[in-house]
């Protein structure tokens, strides 16, 4: 049956409670300790926006290259990249390594989405492996025999 519950936030919301009367009472009591749906959603959105702006501030100095992919991939990957790089920047040992710079240089939106759940160390290892030798500027890719000649 439908019951109007006054939530902890002070808002009233209708809930359709099922089960035995004792179960409904229990559920109704529990609901009074929670926030209403709209307060819950607002709070969640605010938390996400806060996290996004924190991440943005943490990586503002990185001067990141634009991502490539479909519009949807880029939008998603932008958030993923920001949160992952912000987490790496916060790690004293990860923020300034070659692997970190490799990671920072990755512009493939799909790469970020595919690897979004990897642990930091795994993400860095993947980034180092993902950098194609062809992308390294010619002047840096000195063939071994030239090394020997000098
Ligand atoms: Zn509310």
- Which of the two residues, 25 and 135, has the higher pLDDT score? 25
For residue 46, being part of any structural domain is answered with: no
Residue (of 51, 40, 48) closest to 7 by Cα position = 40
Place of tokens 């160390």: 121
**40 CA to middle of ligand 1, Å?**
7
Residues 68 and 128 in one domain: yes
- 25 vs 10: CA distance, rounded Å: 19
Share the mean pLDDT of the chain.
87
Residue (of 50, 34, 142) closest to 13 by Cα position = 34
Q: Is the per-residue pLDDT at 142 higher than 50?
A: no
Residues 6+ apart with CB under 8 A from 122: 115
Give the structural domain span for 11.
2-35
**36 CA to middle of ligand 1, Å?**
4
For residue 15, being part of any structural domain is answered with: yes
Q: What are phi and psi of 67, to 5 degrees?
A: -85, 155
- pLDDT, residue 106, reads 94
Confidence category of residue 150, pLDDT binned at 50, 70, 90: very low
**4 CA to middle of ligand 1, Å?**
13
For residue 52, being part of any structural domain is answered with: no
- Which of the two residues, 121 and 7, has the higher pLDDT score? 7
pLDDT digits (tens, 9 = 90+) for 13-38: 999 999 999 999 999 999 999 999 99
**45 CA to middle of ligand 1, Å?**
14
pLDDT digits (tens, 9 = 90+) for 51-99: 999 999 999 988 899 999 999 999 999 999 999 999 998 887 766 688 8
- pLDDT, residue 95, reads 65
Number of folded domains that form the chain: 2
Distances 13 to 1, 8, 42, 43, 73 between C-alpha atoms, Å: 14, 11, 15, 17, 37
In sequence order, what E strands does 2-114 have?
2-6, 12-16
- Which of the two residues, 147 and 32, has the higher pLDDT score? 32
**28 CA to middle of ligand 1, Å?**
16
**143 CA to middle of ligand 1, Å?**
66
């Amino acid at each position: 049956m439908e019951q109007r519950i006054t939530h902890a936030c002070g808002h009233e919301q209708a809930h359709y409670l099922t089960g035995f009367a004792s179960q409904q009472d229990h559920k109704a009591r529990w609901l009074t300790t929670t926030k209403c749906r709209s307060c819950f959603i607002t709070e969640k959105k605010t938390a996400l926006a806060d996290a996004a702006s924190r991440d943005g501030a943490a990586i503002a100095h990185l001067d990141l290259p634009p991502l490539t992919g479909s519009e949807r991939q880029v939008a998603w990957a932008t958030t993923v990249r920001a949160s992952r790089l912000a987490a790496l920047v916060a790690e004293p040992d990860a923020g300034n390594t070659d692997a970190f710079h490799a990671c920072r240089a990755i512009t493939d939106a799909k790469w970020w989405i595919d690897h979004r759940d990897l642990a930091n160390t795994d993400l860095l290892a993947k980034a180092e492996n993902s950098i194609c030798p062809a992308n390294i500027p010619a002047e840096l890719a000195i063939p071994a025999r030239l090394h020997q000649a000098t």
